[in-house]
Amino acid sequence: MPPTSTVELDLTRLDHNIAQIRRIIGSQVRLCCVLKADGYGLGAPRIAQRMESLGVDMLAVYTPDQALQLVTAGISRTPILVFMPLDDLDRTNPLYRSLISGRLHCVVHDEAHLDRLARLGHRYGCSVPVHVEIDTGMSRGGIAPQQAGAVLQTIQQNRYVRLAGLLTHYANADNGRETTIQQLDAFQAFLNDHAAMIPTDCTVHSAGTHAMFRFPQTHQQMVRIGLAWAGYGPDDEDMQHPETGEMQAASSSSHFLPIARWRSSIVHVKRIEAETPVGYGWTWKARRPTRIGLVPVGYADGYPVALSNRAMVMVRTLDDQWYPAPVIGRVSMDQMTIDLTDFAPEQIILGSEVELFGCQRDAPNDVPMLAQQSDSIMYELLCRLSPRIPRVYRIFEKSPEPCRSDQKAQTDPCRTRDDAQSDSNPAVARCSCLEGKRKDTGGGRHVSTHGRVAGGIRRDHSCPTGSDSG
C-alpha cells in the first residue's frame, strides 16, 4: 500500500539556499548548519550528507543521539557541535571515534560540566574540543560572563580540553534591535576582557538566521543557520538594514527557496445538503449544497488541529492546475475534510493530489502563513511532522526556482525504501493560482481573487459555502 502522505525535499533548492547564505556572509566567515530535531523534521541524515558534499564547515545538533544519527549516516569529514551537556561516552559508541579525532565538539555550560569533559578526555587520551557558551541574556544554557573567565582559565591549564569556540545566543534577533545589540555588546566586552586567554584558532560565533540577515556585525567568524538553509525564516523585514531600512546586498527574500512540500490525495468525495454540520463538535456547517473531499492526514501526522476551518490546501485538477480548497470541520487524528464545491466535478477524482504544505512563497498553504494561522511558529509545524511519513529527496536537472513545474526530477540515489514509492510522479504543474492578486479575508487568511476560469473552477475560495460555528 502506498503511504497516505509524503514529504518531498528538493535538494537542488537546498544547494541554492546554501549558496545564497555563502553570498551573504562572504568567504571569510564559516558556515555551521543546525540540524536539531532530525533537521527540523525534514530528515537530518540525508540533508547532512548533502551539506557535507557542499563543504559546509560545521553541523550542529542538540543531543548526542542526534550527533550519532549523523555519524551513522556517514558524516566523517564535517565537525559536529553538540549543544546539550555531554557527560560521558562509552568506547563502544560510534561517537567515540569522532571524539578522539576531534570532530565531535561539545558546548560547555558550567565549570562542573567542563570537569566531566576533561575526565572524558583523560580517559581516552585526547583533547576534547569545547565551545564555551556565554549567557548574555538568553538565560537558558551557558555561563554568565562573570563566571566564564574562570572556565577559560581552567581550559588553559588542562591539556584534555581545547578551546575551539566561544558563542552566545540572541533572544530577540527576529524583532528586537536594542536587546540584540545589548547582547552583542556584552559578548564583545567579554571577548575583549579575556583576549589573552583566547587562542587564535578559537572560532567566535553568535549569529543565527535572523541575526545573519539583520545584524551583519554579528557574523564574526562563523554563523549558525537553522531554517534559512531550508528556505524558511527570512522575509522582507528581515532583509532590511536595521538602521537605514535598505535591503542588504544579496539577501532579498526571493533569493531563498523553501525546499519542503507535504502532499497527500483525496480518498473519498461526498455531497451534503445545506445546513449539514461537518466533523467533531460540528464546528462547521454548510451554507449550500457542498462537495466534500476526504484527505487521509490528521493531527497524528502533524497537521495542527488549530488549522481547522482556517487553512487552505492546494488541489491538483485533471488539467494539471492547482487551486486552493478550504479545510472545513475539525481536523481529526488521521483524516481531514476539504471543501470541493467550487471545483468542476469532472476535474476532481479519487486520487487527485492534495498539497498540505507548499513550497511557493505566499501560496495559501505556505508554511509561514500556516504557522501564523495556527498561532504557532514554522519550527514547530515542521518538527511535528510524524516520522511515519516517508521523506523523499529530489534532485532537479534545471533551475530550482519553480516548486511545481515541468522540469524533470531525479530521485536521490540515497533515498530510503519508502522514498521509492513516490517516484512515479516526480514533476507536477506549477501552481497557477498565484498568478493573480490575493486578498486578506480576516484571521490572517489570504486567498486568490481570480474569479472563474475555464472548466468551471473558481479561484476565489473565501469559503462561501459554510460557517465556522466553533
- Looking at residue 212, which CATH number applies to its domain? 3.20.20.10
| 223 plus 341 within the same structural domain | no
In a 10 Å sphere around its CB, with 0-12 CB exposed, 13-18 middle and 19+ buried, how is residue 65 labelled? exposed
Asked whether residue 253 is assigned to any structural domain, the reply reads: no
Which has the closest alpha carbon to 265: 119, 415, 374, 428? 428
Does residue 172 surpass a pLDDT of 80?
Answer: yes
More confident residue, 402 or 159: 159
| 176 plus 33 within the same structural domain | yes
Asked whether residue 123 is assigned to any structural domain, the reply reads: yes
Q: How far is residue 352's CA from residue 340's CA, in Å, rounded to a whole number?
A: 12
More confident residue, 248 or 293: 293
Asked whether residue 254 is assigned to any structural domain, the reply reads: no
| 216 plus 318 within the same structural domain | no
| 125 plus 29 within the same structural domain | yes
Asked whether residue 247 is assigned to any structural domain, the reply reads: no
| 436 plus 316 within the same structural domain | yes
112 lies in which domain range? 12-232
Least confident span in 21-30, 235-244, 251-260, 357-366: 235-244
More confident residue, 378 or 427: 378
| 280 plus 219 within the same structural domain | no
- ∠ CA(36), CA(40), CA(43), 5° rounding? 95
C-alpha grid cell, residue 67: 550527533
* Cα dihedral 396→402→404→405 (10° resolution): -70
| 223 plus 283 within the same structural domain | no
Any residues with CB less than 8 A from the CB of 27 and at least 6 apart, and which?
none
Final residue of a structural domain among 232, 251, 283: 232
Structure confidence at residue 401 (pLDDT): 57
Asked whether residue 82 is assigned to any structural domain, the reply reads: yes
Does residue 186 surpass a pLDDT of 70?
Answer: yes
Structure confidence at residue 237 (pLDDT): 52
Read off the pLDDT band of 402 (50, 70, 90).
low
Read off the pLDDT band of 232 (50, 70, 90).
confident
Does residue 377 surpass a pLDDT of 50?
Answer: yes
Mean pLDDT, rounded, for 161-165: 98
Percent residues over pLDDT 70 in the chain: 80
Read off the pLDDT band of 459 (50, 70, 90).
very low
Asked whether residue 294 is assigned to any structural domain, the reply reads: yes
Q: Which amino acid is at 272?
A: I
- pLDDT tens for each residue of 126-151: 999 999 999 999 999 999 999 999 99
Q: How many domains does the chain divide into?
A: 2
Mean pLDDT, rounded, for 79-98: 96
Asked whether residue 238 is assigned to any structural domain, the reply reads: no
Does residue 114 surpass a pLDDT of 60?
Answer: yes
Structure confidence at residue 467 (pLDDT): 54
Asked whether residue 248 is assigned to any structural domain, the reply reads: no
**Which contiguous run of DSSP H or E holds residue 409?**
strand 409-411
Give the chain's radius of gyration (CA, Å). 25
**Which contiguous run of DSSP H or E holds residue 105?**
strand 104-108
Q: How far is residue 95's CA from residue 45's CA, in Å, rounded to a whole number?
A: 15
Does residue 339 surpass a pLDDT of 90?
Answer: yes
| 222 plus 277 within the same structural domain | no
Final residue of a structural domain among 213, 232, 251: 232
| 278 plus 228 within the same structural domain | no
Q: What is the CATH classification number for the domain harbouring 447?
A: 2.40.37.10
**Which contiguous run of DSSP H or E holds residue 97?**
helix 95-100
Instruction: Work out the mean pLDDT of the chain and round it to a whole number.
Output: 85
Q: Which amino acid is at 165?
A: G
Mean pLDDT, rounded, for 105-125: 97
| 296 plus 345 within the same structural domain | yes
| 171 plus 208 within the same structural domain | yes
| 41 plus 148 within the same structural domain | yes
- pLDDT tens for each residue of 312-328: 999 999 999 999 999 99
Structure confidence at residue 425 (pLDDT): 31
Does residue 433 surpass a pLDDT of 70?
Answer: no
